A and B are shown apart, each in its own frame.
Chain A
């Protein structure tokens, strides 16, 4: 069994004192000063000849200085199903797009992309369920998968989340799971080509469909497209130099029923409406020479007009240049500047320094 630990420490300053309104991700730096946003224990190994098991337990210290624990992932993966099939069962990051499945320690920036925060919440989309995947027998890589998940909880942000007021402005209703339609279904198709000996392209489309709790019978639909392109020198030293581009576009249609206004819950009703949100990010990484990576990310997110105001649906643009130095494979130091422009609020500047260390097994990175 492999046992590993990864710790992140952030330090920095932002022009706004209300840093949490800016850095909304659960593993983002969240205060002026120091943040320990992610200390993660990972266990993985073969269960028996038929299953592999994975567990990630995250400890973190929140903006108030309180320790919190969460079971981020705990799942088994089959290793010998016939017909190129593979089943995953348990609690896991949903395979939607590219970055949602990645743990914070493998992110290229200190914070979560804005669009993923708006669509999937501070922790990304993960939940209890099962995923069936089929490696399509084509000459190039194509994988079709579908996940079925419970729709309840803060990590099912676009669905039955207690935090959903931020999306629909109303008081969330309690609704039960009455039939299979009350679960969330997430299909994904991914394909990849080696363009040349040194260039690889990975493309994906995803969807997520399920009930939301703005009303008794309302539902949400999220669509996404993602791409990743990487060039790596044929004589790369320790994987350098390389150049990569990663981008994701997501849009959400959130059908909100007529509901009590969260700002005035006893007297005011909000009309039924379809809330449309969209956003994208693109990030460029340049592995200049061994252990040194320069990055730049552009973030954009916006929502249509609605009968209420939510900071989480207003137009926002963020630009983030950064620079990462890896003393070894097991540690890194990252400096990142964020320029933020929030409609109705104004511009902000933040500077974050991040340090990471890894003990024990270092899980191999997927492409």
Chain B
């Protein structure tokens, strides 16, 4: 069976090197660099797409290995969704070079840059690495703001419709459903977090900036002294002092960040370490974007307002 599938695939690849003339029945192969983008693609594409993420949900998207299996995945993709803003700079370019797939070449309808249309925060005025591994195009962790997720979803729907015009009405309908769900949920999330407005929090990396602004939280420190630079004892001493003076009682860490460092700081400040993932699937029951944001908000509410 496998052999037949392989031969069919070989024939298809060799016979039809490019072009959007795909039978309606075959789902589009959509590859997303990260699971959060993949969850949006699933929401918009529905049954008309098959979605695969390159990064694991528990993995730091800055440091994915350019494994050869990703070359094969990209070689067969009809659509590629990347975060943009240099998030995947350390591993995507050589994979794309080797994938030799013109359908997902820069500028092709099959190439979606998620950061397009997003108002990027922390865009450096001058590019200077003494400030750490700052992304020249701004902070790439923008999807934790639900309004940004709507922008990305619209962008995905637009590109999918161009690649598979026959399914355009499906994508449009799915986008409307997704937007309605986000709008309804956003009101709910804002209500849940309203009592915590102005709460001071600490994060490991600068990865919750967009979330904090949307929900009125104040990030007073990051455990990393500068983006991508490991926490030093002197910097942590400063973090502890700030947390005490500002009464910050919560430290957020993602699965791939050093929880032990956060625990040490938490012990000295009486704070709570909150495990929050921005990637669907890293924590059980968070497979869709809405489920993921439910987890993010619930964990924050529990941490900031005590278990209810």
Contact = CB atoms under 8 A, between A and B. Distances in A.
Contacts of B255: 235
A192 B68 contact: yes
Given A140-B69, A328-B133, A135 B98 contact: yes
Contact of A137 (B10, B59, B68, B229): B10
Nearest to A78: B100
A238 B69 contact: no
Interface residues of B, number: 46
Interface string B243-262: 00000000000011110000
Nearest to A44: B93
**Which of A78, A80, A193 has the most chain B CB within a 10 Å cutoff?**
A80
26 contacts: A46-B106, A78-B100, A79-B102, A83-B17, A84-B13, A84-B14, A86-B98, A86-B100, A137-B6, A137-B13, A140-B72, A190-B68, A192-B67, A194-B69, A202-B68, A291-B230, A328-B129, A328-B132, A328-B133, A328-B229, A329-B90, A364-B66, A364-B90, A364-B93, A365-B66, A367-B67
A141 B100 contact: no
Contacts of B75: 84, 135
A81 to B, nearest CB: 7
Nearest to B65: A367
A192 B66 CA distance: 12
Interface of A: 46, 49, 52, 77-86, 135, 137-141, 143, 190, 192-194, 197, 200, 202, 230, 232, 234-239, 290-291, 328-330, 362-367
Contacts of A363: 93
Interface in B90-122: 90-94, 97-100, 102, 105-106
Contact of A290 (B71, B91, B102, B230): B230
Nearest to B18: A82
A238 B228 contact: yes
Contacts of A237: 60, 256-258
Given A139-B2, A230-B65, A235-B255, A77 B58 contact: no
Given A80-B100, A135-B99, A138-B6, 20 more contacts: A52-B97, A78-B100, A79-B100, A79-B105, A81-B100, A85-B100, A135-B98, A137-B9, A137-B13, A138-B10, A139-B6, A140-B69, A200-B65, A234-B59, A235-B256, A236-B63, A362-B90, A365-B90, A365-B91, A367-B66
A236 B133 CA distance: 18
Contacts of A78: 100
A366 B67 CA distance: 8
B261 to A, nearest CB: 10
A80 B63 contact: no
Main secondary structure of the interface of B (DSSP, over half): loop
B62 interface: yes
Interface string B49-89: 00000001011101101111101100100000000000001
Given A202-B68, A234-B59, A367-B66, A135 B258 contact: no
Nearest to A52: B97
Contacts of A137: 6, 9-10, 13-14
A328 B232 CA distance: 13
A138 B59 CA distance: 27
Point out which of A235, A237, A239 has the most chain B C-beta atoms below 10 A from its C-beta: A237
Contact of B94 (A192, A230, A366): A366
Contacts of A138: 6, 10, 72
A351 B63 CA distance: 31
A79 B75 CA distance: 12
Contacts of B93: 363-364
A310 B80 CA distance: 55
Nearest to A292: B230
A49 B60 CA distance: 31
A290 B60 CA distance: 12
Contacts of B106: 46
B185 to A, nearest CB: 28
A357 to B, nearest CB: 10
Contacts of B230: 238, 290-291
Nearest to B282: A235
Interface in B214-233: 228-230
Interface in B179-194: none
Nearest to A2: B93
B95 to A, nearest CB: 9
